[in-house]
Amino acid sequence: MKKILFLTGTRADFGKIKSLISILEKQKEFEVFVFVTGMHLQQEYGYTLIEIERCKFKNIHTFVNHTHETTMDLTLAKTIEGFSSYCNTIKPDMIVVHGDRVETLAGAIVGSLNNILVAHIEGGEVSGTVDELIRHSVSKLSHIHFASNAEAEKRLIQMGEIKESVFTIGSPDIDIMFSEQLPDLATVKKYYNILFEEFSIVMFHPVTTEINAMKQYTENFVAALLQDNHNYVVIYPNNDLGSHFILDSYEKLKNNERFKIFPSLRFEYFLTLLKNSKFIIGNSSAGIREAPYYGIPIINIGTRQQNRAIHADIINVDYSESEIEEALSIIDSHKVQKTENDFGQGNSAELFLNCLQKSDIWQLNHQKQFRDS
C-alpha cells in the first residue's frame, strides 16, 4: 500500500486538491494523509479546518505555522520543521503539494531533501509576483508534475523537467465546478443570510512585491466600491504580507447594507455564488480561472494576475480609484462569452488516479535530472 501525503495551507489550494484526496481515499491500494496548516487554523480567516473535517478524511493532522510576527521566510522555516516531523512519523511514499504558497515550498523542500517523491499540482504557470518565484522553485524541487494545460507543460519542459515526469490533467477545481455537488443558490443565500436579489463578488489579495503601496491601493479600491451602487459579497484576502491593510480598509464597509463580508466561504458554496453573480472584482485567481468558465464578467485590478493564462474577456484596470470607478460604470453592459475550456474537462481526479495506478510514476528517478531542450 502506497502512502500519499497531501499538504494544504489555504482554502484556495484545498479547493484544488479536494477531489484528488477524495478519489484516492476510495482506493484500497492507497493510504491518504492530509497535513493541514496555514490559514486553515487562523480564526481571523474563518478557521477553515472545519471544511476539511466535514469531508471525513481518515487521517488529518494539524500544525500551526503562524505567529503574528511571522514573515514569509519564518513561516517557511516553521512549516518545514512541523512537516518534516510528521513525514518522519508516517514515512510517506509521495508528497502532493499545490501551487505557489510558502507551505507548498516547505512540502517540496522536505520531500526532496528526504528522498520522498514530490508531486506538484499546477506547476509551470506564470503570474508576475513573488508567487511565481515560489511556484517555479517548487517545480524544480518536485519529481512529478500534474500540469493544468499544454502551455504549463511546455514551460516545465523548458525549465529542464523531463517529459516523462509531466502529466497534463487539467485544473482539479473544474471537477467540482461542474459536478452535481454544488448547492442551489437559495440554499447558499439562506446558509450565509445573504438577502441581496443581485450581487457581485469582491476578492482582493495583497501583492507582497508591492507592499509599500498596498495601503494606498486598498484605500482606492474601497473608496471606489463605496462610490458604486452594486451589492457585494466580500471575501477576506489570503494572509500574505499586507493583508492587514485590506482588513483595515474593509472596516469602512461593515455598516453599509450593500456589503456582506465573510472571512471565508465553503468552496462549493462560493462556486454557486460566483456562478450566479453579476461580476467579480479584485485580483483573485478565481477571476482568471473559475469566472470565465461560468461566463461571469471580470474586473481585474493591478498586477497580481498579469501573466496568468488568460483567454477570457477581462477588464484590466490599474489601482487608481478613477479607473476602478470607470470599469464599474460599464460592467453592467459588458457582454461576456464563456471561455474555451483550457483547463481540462472536469476529470482531473480520474486522470490523477490513473497516473498513480501505473507503475511508471513510481519508477521515476528520485535523483532529479535537467534535460536540455
Residue 8 lies in a domain: yes
The DSSP call for residue 285 is G
CA neighbor of 137 nearest in space, from 120, 151, 158, 149: 120
Residue 99 to residue 139: CA distance in whole angstroms: 9
pLDDT digits (tens, 9 = 90+) for 230-240: 999 999 998 88
Name, of 11-15, 191-195, 299-303, the range with top average pLDDT. Answer: 191-195
Residue 373 maps to a domain:
no
My answer on whether 73 and 104 are in the same domain is yes
pLDDT range class, residue 129, cuts 50, 70, 90: low
According to the model, what pLDDT value does residue 341 have?
56
Residue burial 66-82, b: 16+ Cβ < 10 Å; e: rest = beeebeeeebbebbbeb
Query: Same domain, yes or no, for 167 and 230?
Result: no
- Indicate if 94 and 221 belong to the same structural domain: no
Percent of the chain with pLDDT over 90: 69
207 — pLDDT class (breaks 50, 70, 90):
confident
> Please, are residues 40 and 10 in contact by the beta-carbon 8 Å criterion?
yes
pLDDT surpassing 80 at residue 324: yes
Q: How far apart are CA 149 and CA 217, in angstroms?
A: 32
pLDDT for the residue numbered 72? 85
pLDDT of 146 > 70? The answer is yes
In this structure, are 315 and 261 located in the same domain?
yes
Examine the pLDDT at 312 and tell me if it is beyond 90: no
Q: Which domain holds residue 202?
A: 185-333
Percent of the chain with pLDDT strictly greater than 70:
93
Question: Is 16 among the domain residues?
Answer: yes
- Residue 341 maps to a domain: no
Residue 307 pLDDT more than 80?
A: no
Q: What is the mean pLDDT of residues 303-311?
A: 54
| Element housing 167 (H / E) | strand 166-168
Region 28-53: mean pLDDT is: 94
**Phi, psi of 259, deg, nearest 5:** -125, 130
222 and 285 share a domain?
yes
**pLDDT recorded at residue 20:** 96
127: confidence class by pLDDT, cuts 50, 70, 90? low
Same domain, 277 and 320: yes
Residue 260: predicted pLDDT: 97
Cell of 355: 497516473
Residue 303 scores a pLDDT above 80: no
Give the C-alpha distances (Å, rounded to integers) separating 282 from 67, 190, 206. Answer: 27, 25, 10
pLDDT of residue 69: 62
pLDDT surpassing 50 at residue 282: yes
DSSP 248-281: HHHGGGTT-TTEEEES---HHHHHHHHHT-S-EE
Supply 175's cell numbers.
471537477
User: At residue 139, does pLDDT exceed 60?
Assistant: yes
Q: Does 369 reside within a domain?
A: no
CA distances from 199 to 24, 72, 231, 268 (A): 37, 34, 5, 17
The predicted model gives 17-43 an average pLDDT of 95
Q: What is the pLDDT, as a whole number, of residue 373?
A: 66
Is there a single domain that holds both residue 157 and residue 256? no
| Sheet hosting strand 166-168, strand order edge to edge | 60-62, 30-36, 2-8, 94-98, 117-121, 144-147, 166-168
User: Which of residues 45 and 95 earns the better pLDDT score?
Assistant: 95
Residue 9 has pLDDT above 90, yes or no: yes
Give the Cα separation of 301 and 284 in Å (integer).
9
Is the distance from CB of 179 to CB of 271 less than 8 angstroms?
A: no
Separation CA 198–CA 178 (nearest Å): 22
Q: Among 69, 126, 80, which residue's Cα sits nearest to residue 104? A: 80
Largest pairwise CA distance in the chain: 59
Residues 92 and 46 in one domain: yes
Question: SS3 of 212, please?
Answer: helix
With respect to residue 134, please indicate whether it lies within any of the assigned structural domains: yes
Same domain, 313 and 214: yes
Q: What is the DSSP code (8-state) at residue 339?
A: P
> Which amino acid is residue 59, in one-letter code?
N
Task: Indicate whether 146 and 189 sit together in one domain.
Answer: no
Q: What is the CATH number of the domain that holds 229?
A: 3.40.50.2000
Tens digit of pLDDT for each residue in 157-196? 999 999 999 999 998 988 888 888 899 999 999 999 999 9
Average pLDDT of the chain, as a whole number:
90
Whether the per-residue pLDDT at 305 is higher than 80: the answer is no
Q: State the pLDDT confidence band at 309, using cuts at 50, 70 and 90.
A: very low
Specify the number of domains making up the chain. 2
| Residue 197 shares a structural domain with residue 172 | no
Same domain, 174 and 240: no
Residue 338 is assigned to a structural domain of this protein: no
Per mean pLDDT, which of 65-69, 104-108, 242-246, 329-333 is the most reliable? Answer: 104-108
- How much is the pLDDT for 370? 87
Mean pLDDT of 20-37: 97
Domain assignment of residue 367, yes or no:
no
Q: What confidence tier does 326 reach under pLDDT thresholds 50, 70, 90? A: very high
Contacts of 234 (CB under 8 A, 6+ apart): 201, 202, 250, 253, 259, 260, 261, 262
